[in-house]
Structure 1
Amino acid sequence: MSWAAALALAYLIGAVPCGFLIAKSLTGEDVRASGSGSTGATNVVRKAGLAAGLLTYVLDVLKGFLALWVAAWVSGSTSPRLLGAAGLAAVLGHMFPVYLGLRGGKGVATGVGVFLVLSPVATLLALLTWGLVFALTRTVSLGSLLGVLVLPIGIWLCDGWWLGRASEVWLPSLIWAVAIGTAIIARHGGNLQRLYRGTESTFRQTGWQTPPDS
């Protein structure tokens, strides 16, 4: 029962719609009605400005961290299996929030918060990947997707392989990175199609360039 309560609370924490609330308070409008239709930081920037988007990102990261802390406190366990499951619950809560009719964001920032707890060095490597890709392409989604792909490799390299640690130390985090990453990539289906067509939104000096079908 403690595990069930921990996962339920992790989901409810992840489901708190920070971006929706911030954009609503500033503009009076539903951020999901424009741009990509997401409640995430990128779409909040489009709707309510850079400061609002940065605040959304920070709060979404904190949701992932808080979800794991609460899950550990409620269950009395810091098992990697529990924390990974709580992380997945938080990310799914962000994507499919019960408070907003299951229409939320794409889970990247909340996933960052989760893996800053589970594997901080690998997470920093994934964030560096995002930063480099964004600097070169000004495309947030491409950086996010490549960062998701780098994360499990980073866990293997940074937490296990070169340190000679036993697999039970790092393997659970790698498995959860693959599971959560798969959910995030699936949630980016529309972005993948636009990247393939060359019509994905980009950030230039002139601002966000948002195609009509985004």
Structure 2
Amino acid sequence: MADWILVPLAYFLGSLSTAVVVSRVLGLPDPRRAGSRNPGATNVLRLGGKKAAAITLLGDALKGLIPVLLAKALQAEPLVVGAVGLAAFLGHLFPVFFGFRGGKGVATALGVMGGFGWPVGLGVLSTWLAVAVVSRLSSLAALVTAVMAPAYVWWWLRSETLTATTALMAALLVWRHRPNIARLLRGEESRIGQKA
């Protein structure tokens, strides 16, 4: 039962908004109030360039990866591992330290799934990159990857618990992209690297 303490710890780690912290340190506009107003790597790319975006992306992914790897190192059961990953993801979406106004969770979900299993992480990363390179639309890449992710988890890990956790994260990720979906349908979505 002691490993369940990792769940709230994962939530608190997930609640640390990398985009906001990086923007403050580098003297950039608050990503919650500028650009797309989403505290994530894509908006930081628009506001501050590649270096700031890369740091944000890495930080957000590590928020998901580290707690899951720690749970696995402690040989926690799959239910705990899934709960830890979900808690980190929810921390990013609804951060207690930033008024529960967080990002969309793409990089953190990638980190969580990479923690579930490296083939899954490689699969989702490859899917995101392929769609992003072809379309230059970060949101479309995220949506396609979210739809594919539960199948990847089931195919490589054969875990009902982790597949269900991934499906829930994917559903939340799609839900958070509602405005992006509307803009995609209207042909108005911003391209990767497009200035705010």
TM-score (norm 1): 0.85
Aligned match of 2:183 in 186, 194, 201? 194
Q: Which residues in structure 2 correspond to 1:161-172 (within 5 Å)?
A: 170-172=159-161
SS at the partner of 1:32?
Answer: coil
- Of all paired residues, the percent bearing the same amino acid is 35
Q: Report the structure number with the largest CA radius of gyration.
A: 1
Aligned position for 2:105: 107
SS at the partner of 1:55?
Answer: helix
SS at the partner of 1:103?
Answer: coil
- The residue type paired with residue 145 of structure 1 is L
1-structure distance, mates of 2:151, 2:24: 38
Contact 2:17 2:95 (C-alpha < 8 Å) held by counterparts = yes
2-structure distance, mates of 1:183, 1:119: 21
Aligned match of 2:123 in 115, 122, 125? 125
Deviations 1:77-112 (A, max 9, x none): 421111111111101101111111111111111111
Aligned position for 1:157: 155
TM-score (norm 2): 0.92
2-structure distance, mates of 1:198, 1:51: 28
Deviations 1:93-150 (A, max 9, x none): 0111111111111111111111111132122122111111111110001001101111
Aligned match of 2:171 in 182, 195, 198? 182
Shift of 1:54: 0.7
Matched positions, count = 196
Of structures 1 and 2, the one with the larger relative CO (CA 8 A, separation 6+) is 2
1-structure distance, mates of 2:153, 2:17: 29
Shift of 1:46: 1.0
Contact 2:28 2:47 (C-alpha < 8 Å) held by counterparts = no
Aligned position for 2:42: 42
SS at the partner of 2:194?
Answer: strand
1-structure distance, mates of 2:7, 2:156: 27
Aligned position for 1:146: 144
Contact 2:4 2:80 (C-alpha < 8 Å) held by counterparts = no
Aligned position for 1:7: 7
Contact 2:47 2:195 (C-alpha < 8 Å) held by counterparts = no
Contact 1:13 1:66 (C-alpha < 8 Å) held by counterparts = no
> Taking structure 1 as reference, are residues 143 and 28 closer, same or farther at Cα in structure 2, changes over 3 Å only?
closer
SS at the partner of 1:27?
Answer: coil
> Taking structure 1 as reference, are residues 72 and 129 closer, same or farther at Cα in structure 2, changes over 3 Å only?
closer
- The residue type paired with residue 134 of structure 1 is A
- The residue type paired with residue 30 of structure 1 is D
